[in-house]
């Protein structure tokens, strides 16, 4: 929940709830603003300063830039990383067919593994992607790939496609209340854009590998990083996020075995006897201590618990639920998808009772007379029930300080278990202690040197706050299922 204290209910459409909470969560995501930071490269020592290249700004691109920042938690400020990226981009630009093309790179404060470009040459890369890469050649493969989208005008074509999709969305919205027709039209639009994108990705891979190779980076960095992303996505399987911040590179850059093979084939064309530069030591030094995963300042999930140290509260979801902290709400889904929950913050005037709020019409089909006042762990609260065509809803509103938080539980069928899950989750809402707030630090990447006798298993046991640590250790360090660490290897671990 980005900037949860500052987020308010923005007139969620009443009809939206009839489509079910998961669709609602997808369609009503929004976000807060962030601070713009761009990388700059110092002039080379002993030589004249290079003329500054500037990216053309238009009102449209400025709006899109702000939207991206707000969707991805703002910019991530790290001078070491900015210096490394600035130096890498300068090398890539000099080796490209368009050395006059200007680029700006923004590091996004998101644990997602993603990168993308705007037609003007504004490039974006998340700290999650930076943490996953193992050397500078892998990072250069991502940056050169995005530069290739700009050079081949793919970003402009995608912008046109996005405008067409927006038109379709508006037309579909005006069709009325037929959810099947709406879903079909939107699905067709997305499929058209996805199939169009695959051809672009292969072309951008080829162009990007060439740029990296001419810049004297290891041309096989692209194939290695594509493989790392596939393995990372497989580890996330079953935990599909509804948050655009959590959508990874593979969501918009489809990866297949053919694409990895294509990157390898492209690299062979540029291979040289001396090989390309990987620059692993410099890269690992630059990413040492980078934040990994969610930023606690925006609230974070630990297992079944959601904690928001900045706002000072926590709650726990039922054992069978998987929690996902999205830009506007915390979403929980039960295994099998038969139950779901949403937690968010809404604007309720201090003079309005919570029972009156639940009966105020923001949600359709609230059962008459079902709203009642409650006290939950000392906090004023109210609950109500509602019925949709396919879902049964139990809604709670809870006043915490000057904010009102809303729990919305949905189940295919009302059962003893669904009622118990709702009660226990709301009942777990509590104020964090000072000790808990002080202990809520972000996870970080730490670079260590493997000692004699260290193994994947022993090193992964030193990791904190991550699931399947041995698998994650292998993926973070580019180790396949049978590879082992060697003494004096520099490796990444995740620590609290």
DSSP string, 98-117: -TT---EEEEES-SS--EEE
Contacts of 110 (CB under 8 A, 6+ apart): 72, 73, 126, 127, 128, 245, 246
Please give the Cα distance from 82 to 456 (Å, whole number).
Answer: 31
71, pLDDT greater than 50: yes
Q: Which of 6-20, 90-104, 197-211, 295-309 has maximum average pLDDT?
A: 90-104
The DSSP-derived string for 178-195 is: -HHHHHHHHHHHHHHHHH
Give the three-class secondary structure for 296: helix
Least confident range from 201-210, 269-278, 292-301, 440-449: namely: 269-278
- Mean pLDDT for 241-254 is 48
pLDDT value of position 116: 86
Higher pLDDT, 283 or 52: 283
pLDDT value of position 19: 31
From the list 323, 305, 324, the residue with the least C-alpha distance to 315 is: 305
List, in sequence order, every beta strand (DSSP E) within 204-309. 291-292, 300-302, 305-308
List, in sequence order, every beta strand (DSSP E) within 49-185. 104-108, 115-117, 122-126
- Mean pLDDT for 262-269 is 90
pLDDT band per the 50, 70, 90 thresholds, residue 465? confident
- Mean pLDDT for 60-86 is 90
Please give the Cα distance from 165 to 418 (Å, whole number).
Answer: 38
Least confident range from 223-227, 450-454, 465-469, 472-476: namely: 465-469
DSSP state of 337: S
**Beta carbons of 38 and 105 less than 8 angstroms apart:** yes
pLDDT band per the 50, 70, 90 thresholds, residue 253? low
330, pLDDT greater than 50: yes
182, pLDDT greater than 90: no
pLDDT value of position 397: 96
Contacts of 29 (CB under 8 A, 6+ apart): 242, 243, 244, 326, 327, 328, 329
CA contacts within 13 A on the Cβ side of 196: 14
Please give the Cα distance from 369 to 408 (Å, whole number).
Answer: 18
Q: Mind listing the pLDDT tens digit for each residue in 108-160? A: 998 888 898 888 899 999 999 999 999 999 999 999 999 998 888 765 555 55
* Interhelix angle 136-151/179-214, nearest 10 degrees: 110
From the list 329, 309, 295, the residue with the least C-alpha distance to 76 is: 295
Least confident range from 1-5, 57-61, 302-306, 437-441: namely: 1-5
Number of Cβ within 10 Å of residue 133's Cβ equals: 24
Least confident range from 238-242, 283-287, 401-405, 416-420: namely: 238-242
Q: What is the largest CA-CA distance in the chain?
A: 79
Question: What is the torsion angle, in degrees rounded to the nearest 10, for the CA atoms of residue 155, residue 113, residue 2 and residue 9?
Answer: 60
∠ CA 343-369-11, nearest 5°, is 40
Tokens of 405: 């938080």
From the list 112, 191, 105, the residue with the least C-alpha distance to 150 is: 105
**Beta carbons of 226 and 263 less than 8 angstroms apart:** yes
Please give the Cα distance from 387 to 135 (Å, whole number).
Answer: 53
Phi, psi dihedrals of residue 376, rounded to the nearest 5°? -120, 110
How many residues make up the chain in this entry?
496
Looking up tokens 């593979």, which residue turns up? 250
pLDDT value of position 240: 46
Give the three-class secondary structure for 446: strand
* Interhelix angle 136-151/280-287, nearest 10 degrees: 90
**Predicted model pTM:** 0.69
Looking up tokens 């003893």, which residue turns up? 416
220, pLDDT greater than 60: yes
């Amino acid at each position: 929940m980005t900037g949860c204290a500052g987020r308010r209910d923005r007139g969620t459409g009443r009809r939206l709830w009839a489509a079910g909470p998961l669709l609602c969560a997808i369609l009503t995501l929004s976000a807060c603003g962030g601070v713009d930071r761009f990388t700059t490269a110092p002039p080379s020592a002993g030589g004249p300063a290079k003329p500054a290249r500037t990216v053309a700004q238009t009102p449209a691109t400025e709006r899109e830039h702000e939207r991206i920042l707000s969707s991805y938690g703002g910019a991530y400020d790290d001078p070491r990383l900015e210096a490394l990226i600035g130096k890498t981009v300068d090398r890539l630009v000099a080796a490209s067919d368009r050395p006059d093309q200007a680029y700006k790179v923004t590091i996004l404060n998101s644990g997602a593994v993603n990168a993308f470009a705007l037609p003007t040459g504004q490039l974006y890369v998340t700290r999650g992607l930076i943490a996953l890469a193992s050397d500078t050649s892998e990072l250069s493969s991502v940056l050169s790939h995005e530069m290739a989208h700009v050079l081949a005008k793919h970003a402009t074509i995608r912008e046109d496609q996005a405008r067409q999709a927006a038109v379709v969305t508006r037309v579909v919205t005006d069709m009325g209340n037929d959810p099947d027709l709406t879903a079909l039209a939107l699905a067709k639009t997305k499929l058209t854009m996805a199939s169009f994108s695959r051809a672009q990705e292969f072309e951008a891979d080829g162009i990007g590998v060439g740029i990296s190779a001419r810049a004297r980076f290891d041309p096989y960095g692209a194939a290695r990083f594509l493989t790392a992303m596939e393995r990372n996505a497989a580890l996330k399987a079953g935990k599909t996020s509804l948050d655009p911040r959590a959508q990874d590179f593979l969501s918009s850059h489809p990866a297949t075995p053919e694409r990895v093979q294509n990157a390898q084939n492209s690299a062979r064309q540029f291979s040289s006897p001396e090989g390309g530069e990987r620059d692993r030591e410099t890269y690992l030094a630059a990413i040492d201590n980078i934040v990994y995963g969610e930023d606690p300042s925006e609230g974070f999930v630990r297992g079944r618990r959601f904690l928001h140290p900045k706002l000072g509260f926590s709650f726990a979801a039922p054992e069978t639920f998987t929690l996902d902290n999205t830009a506007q709400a915390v979403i929980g889904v039960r295994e099998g998808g038969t139950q779901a929950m949403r937690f968010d913050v809404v604007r309720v005037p201090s003079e309005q009772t919570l029972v009156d709020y639940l009966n105020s019409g923001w949600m359709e089909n609230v059962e008459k007379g079902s709203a009642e006042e409650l006290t939950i762990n000392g906090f004023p609260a109210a609950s109500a029930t509602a019925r949709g065509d396919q879902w049964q809803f139990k809604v709670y509103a809870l006043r915490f300080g000057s904010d009102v938080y809303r729990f919305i539980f949905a189940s295919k069928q009302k059962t003893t278990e669904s009622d118990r899950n709702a009660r226990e989750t709301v009942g777990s809402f509590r104020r964090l202690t000072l000790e808990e707030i002080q202990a809520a630090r972000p996870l970080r990447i730490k670079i260590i040197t493997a000692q004699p006798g260290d193994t994947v298993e022993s090193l992964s046991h030193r990791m904190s706050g991550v699931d399947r640590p041995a698998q994650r250790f292998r993926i973070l360090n580019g180790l396949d299922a049978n590879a082992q660490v060697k003494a004096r290897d520099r490796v990444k671990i995740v620590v609290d």
